[in-house]
Amino acid sequence: MLLRVEKGSFYYTSDTPILQDITLSLEKGEVIAVMGPNGIGKTTFLKCLMGIYKWKSGHSLIDGKDTGNARKQIGYVPQAHRFSFPYSVRDMVVFGRAKYLPAFASPGEKDYAFADRALEEVGISAIRDKSCNQLSGGQLQMVLLARALVGEPQLLILDEPESHLDFGNQITILKIIKRLAKEKGIACVMNTHYPNHALNIADKTLLLKGNKFLVGKTDQILTKENIREYFGVDSIIVTAQKDDREINAFVLTDLI
């Protein structure tokens, strides 16, 4: 087991609990989707995992070590908000090596080689000399993913990686996440608002609502009954055949 969260609880003010007794585990190469209504605590959960916020009780461990002290093992991909950064894409990505460098040292050839490999891995080598100020939201999201990858993480934490992306780029980033998990054995924790994305790439799902949660295999957690209970919408699950595989997808029926 790579990641273990044991009875993790968190609140900003003690009269309003946000996360209560969250317990889950994740193996190498597994993807877990974190889902739930707006403002329920998904980003807070990621921040507790990264040690930005300290669990009020309980703990989270990566390979037996507190996740808050595991900077080298964890890569973080924030949401791609526009920012003003006069760096080239390549320089932005090489920043992901900073945790391996002595204080104030500049990245060397080896670090740039890592950066070039990560750019290739996410398919953006062609824009490596562009300024980050000139990127689209989708390109910026890929740059942030490449920056996390150069740190050679065992655990990748992604905050709504497909938000702000067009339909095609959403699929591109989901395919990359799936490949990184299955081919490189990186465990991924990913917040998402899209149940179909979770059905497609997540082995497990954590569903949050109020002070309760469900966690388990995605197809057992994302049922139409739970979608009704946790999001208040009606849906049906349809199954399609692609080659020799069955693919399930939610169709929301409230609009029909």
Ligand X SMILES: Nc1ncnc2c1ncn2[C@@H]1O[C@H](COP(=O)(O)OP(=O)(O)OP(=O)(O)O)[C@@H](O)[C@H]1O
Q: Least distance from C-beta 249 to ligand X, angstroms?
A: 22
Tokens at 66, concatenated: 């507190």
Q: Which is nearer to ligand X, 154 or 170 (CB)?
A: 170
Q: Least distance from C-beta 44 to ligand X, angstroms?
A: 3
Q: Least distance from C-beta 47 to ligand X, angstroms?
A: 8
Q: Least distance from C-beta 18 to ligand X, angstroms?
A: 5
Q: Which is nearer to ligand X, 154 or 205 (CB)?
A: 205
Q: Which is nearer to ligand X, 40 or 198 (CB)?
A: 40
Tokens at 188, concatenated: 């991924």
Q: Which is nearer to ligand X, 15 or 243 (CB)?
A: 15
Q: Least distance from C-beta 193 to ligand X, angstroms?
A: 7
Q: Which is nearer to ligand X, 36 or 153 (CB)?
A: 36
**In the complex, which residues of this chain contact ligand X (CB under 6 A)?**
12, 18, 36, 38-44
Q: Which is nearer to ligand X, 79 or 131 (CB)?
A: 79
Task: Give the helix/strand (H/E) hosting 66.
Answer: strand 65-66
Q: Can you list the positions of beta strands (E) in 177-243?
A: 187-191, 204-209, 212-217, 235-242
Question: What residue type is 225 in one-letter code?
Answer: E
First to last CA, the chain: 43
The secondary structure of residue 52, as a DSSP letter, is: S
DSSP labels, 104-165: TPPP-HHHHHHHHHHHHHTT-GGGTTSBGGG--HHHHHHHHHHHHHTT--SEEEEESTTTT-
Q: Least distance from C-beta 49 to ligand X, angstroms?
A: 12
The residue assigned the tokens 């900073």 is: 98
Cα–Cα distances (Å) from 246 to 54, 238, 239, 243, in that order, read: 41, 10, 6, 8
